[in-house]
A and B are shown apart, each in its own frame.
Chain A
Amino acid sequence: MAKKSYRDAIREAIASEMRRDSRVIVMGEDNAGGAGSPGEKDAWGGVLGVTKGLQPEFGADRVLDTPITESAFIGAAAGAAATGLRPIAELMFVDFMGVCFDQIFNQAAKFRYMFGGKAVTPLVIRTMYGAGFRAASQHSQCLYPLFTHIPGLKVVLPSSPYEAKGLMIQSIRDDDPVIFFEHKLMYDDTADVPDESYTIPFGEANITREGKDATIVAFGRMVNFSNQVADELRRDGVGVTVIDPRTTSPLDTETILDSVAETGRLVVVDEAHPRCSMAADIARLVAEEAFSDLKAPIKTVTAPHTPVPFSPSLEDIYIPTPAKIRDAVLAVTRGRAQ
């Protein structure tokens, strides 16, 4: 088993599913690069190189470069899925998703429901999210709460290369539309990733650290930050459980509630804005279902309710950090009875 990057793990998942199932196709802007020009093909392989190498192996019939019209090709992908293919459409930055909300929210998400369960839409939309790339307000958002809000969509946030491969294969094999969020700062993270295929089921949270004093629920890149904090605090005698829900829809509420029942203290870490976010959602869940288990008020660590700043120093303050997570855990565990 080799160490592989997040980028390579995603590519390996797509390539192995394309070999296994000829209905799997890839489409998006510059997924190969060079379409319509006499120059080099596969020059790009996607804006950050995730799909590089796919077109030489699978051909231009299955790896399609599309025009810069998200509304058209996301609509085409939804239609292709409804009629028997299993498309993986790349919508470069989630920030651009707004132009095709109708295709996603009103069409793809509704087909199964509105056709009485007789239609399936095995569509995967890959998209990049997250701040820290110095790419300013229109290329840095964490819009997964918007998609989580819509019934009929599944929303996936892999937090490591191992998770990325198994969740991508599960996404491709799933019969519902899946929005697959890739954090652009994680592409070069490496970890042990098996060469063999494997799937990680949706709606089953991972517990990445175990401790008895507090529970952190964190998403995507924030899982790593939270693990760091849990490791640091263990040295100081504070035991922290870290839960990575993996998918925000479906959401594994049982694992969260079980853990809060044990620790009595909750911190939710979400890189999205605080309003109508996963942080708000999970705080609501625990306040409603497990209020009597709580020994301290729930804390959330999120980005502020502002656009992502372009100024690097402001962007650094904007993103939740391990130090902020640590402060939140210490705030909820202060004065705890042993």
Chain B
Amino acid sequence: MSEIQPIVMPKWGLAMEEGALTSWLVQGGAEIEKGQEIAEIETSKLANVFESPASGNLRRLVAREGDVLPVGALLAVLAPATVSDADIDTFVASFVVEAPADAGGAGGPAERKLERDGRTLAYKAAGLENSATPVVLIHGFGGDSDNWLFNIDELAKSRPVYAVDLPGHGKSTKTLSTGDLSELSRAVADLVDEIGAQKFHLVGHSLGAAVALQILRDWPERVASIVGIAPAGLGERINAQFIDGFIAAEKRKDIKATLQLLVGDPELVSAQMIEGVQRYKRLEAAKEALRAIADKNLPSGRQTANFRDLVAEGRTPILILWGARDAILDPEAARGLPSTVKVVLFDDAGHMPHLEAASKANEAMARHLEAADALSQPGR
């Protein structure tokens, strides 16, 4: 029976209790690969494609399209051809839905706050029981720590993970002093001091990658490695229309149209995502914060910071993940970097590959972080 592997309803974020299987993207009997898109699942908060957590022969589709099932419910069964149908019947019949396990036993990400100089820096923490080098996740312009919904639990299986709300964003203080990269990177530096990490990895998305590279420039000896997801800071070009549209949009319709630029498949933008952005933008000083960051970092619609030389130095392991259909930052910017910088391109993803191709992105990140850990501790 151990050859039979269940595929169950995933848990996407703390609040998810059940999901609707909207459609199967594969047929029963197919050979599937880990990371292959096998179904579309919708929760009250979002809709996304579900990527298979394992490889094998998809012997049985248990859930039917339209079914609404609790987290952990059996969706399908993987087993080699040698397993008999009767054994699979028994497996399906005796399958018990486990109470959703909190990832890594850490009870899911915990929300925390760091107060400094009368300002609040909010962050999430997970995987604190692990001893490997911690990783800090830095979201992009207008985002927040919830952008790592599909990544945080996965990465927390092997190391402590901290996901920050940059100043001006999420639950952190909205008023900024300047909005430049050094203000944002100092906030992340405050966080790593707070958690007492001498060395740490940085995963930055878009603007967050530029923040990570700024930290690498300022404290090169403390940064174990960097993952830049659709990174800013590698060239001048950016879709300034998106930035201006994101700041200006107030009505639901306009926010929806702007958010759809972020992803390869516009269907991924759910009502709740729009509501989340709308709620953030209504907060006092949030719009001013976005304006200040855009004015400092993208005056006249061009990026000011350029870290190409730093990235090309190759002293710190750097992985770049990019969606080929990115409409905000062109993946062309990753061309011409030395071979020490690993670049992974996701064909169908837009500007959010960590959301759109989550399991592949997670796997690439986990492998990169492990390799970087091994480099910095050659004795092990």
Chain A residues in contact with chain B, CB under 8 A? 1, 162, 166, 194, 196-201, 204, 206-210, 231, 234-235, 237, 255
Contact = CB atoms under 8 A, between A and B. Distances in A.
10 contacts: A1-B171, A162-B279, A166-B282, A196-B284, A196-B285, A197-B283, A197-B284, A200-B282, A209-B271, A235-B20
A210 B251 CA distance: 16
Given A162-B279, A166-B282, 19 more contacts: A194-B279, A196-B174, A197-B284, A198-B279, A198-B282, A198-B284, A201-B250, A204-B252, A206-B252, A206-B275, A207-B252, A208-B271, A209-B271, A210-B271, A231-B44, A234-B20, A235-B68, A237-B66, A255-B252
A207 B279 contact: no
Contacts of B275: 206
A285 B316 CA distance: 63
Contacts, number: 35
B250 A194 contact: no
A234 B44 CA distance: 11
Interface in B250-300: 250-252, 270-271, 275, 279, 282-285
Contacts of B279: 162, 194, 198
B271 A207 contact: yes
Contacts of B20: 234-235
A204 B270 CA distance: 18
A209 B42 CA distance: 13
A234 B68 contact: yes
A196 B251 contact: no
A168 to B, nearest CB: 13
A265 B283 CA distance: 35
A97 to B, nearest CB: 30
Interface residues of B, number: 17
Contacts of B271: 207-210
Contacts of A201: 250
A231 to B, nearest CB: 8
A194 B252 contact: no
Nearest to A242: B271
B252 A196 contact: no
Contacts of A196: 174, 283-285
A162 B279 CA distance: 9
A199 B68 contact: no
A235 B285 CA distance: 40
Contacts of B285: 196
Nearest to B65: A237
A204 B251 contact: yes
B340 to A, nearest CB: 42
Contacts of B282: 166, 198-200
A200 B66 CA distance: 35
A235 B64 CA distance: 12
Contacts of B284: 196-198
Nearest to A197: B284
Contacts of B66: 237
A194 B68 contact: no
Identify the interface centre among B20, B271, B282: most chain A CB within 10 Å of its CB.
B282
A201 B275 CA distance: 14
Nearest to A211: B271
Contact of B283 (A194, A204, A208, A255): A194
A292 B47 CA distance: 31
Nearest to B173: A196
The 4 A-B pairs with the shortest beta carbon distances in the complex, nearest first, are A198-B282, A197-B284, A210-B271, A235-B68
B36 to A, nearest CB: 27
B283 A198 contact: yes
Contacts of A231: 44
A231 B270 CA distance: 15
Nearest to A16: B284
Interface in B58-102: 66, 68
A235 B283 CA distance: 34
A210 B256 CA distance: 13
Contacts of A197: 283-284
Nearest to B250: A201
A234 B285 CA distance: 38
B248 to A, nearest CB: 14
A200 B171 CA distance: 19
A196 B170 CA distance: 11
Interface string B16-35: 00001000000000000000
Contacts of A166: 282
A52 to B, nearest CB: 25
B31 to A, nearest CB: 31
Interface in B224-254: 250-252
A208 B251 CA distance: 14
A204 B281 CA distance: 15
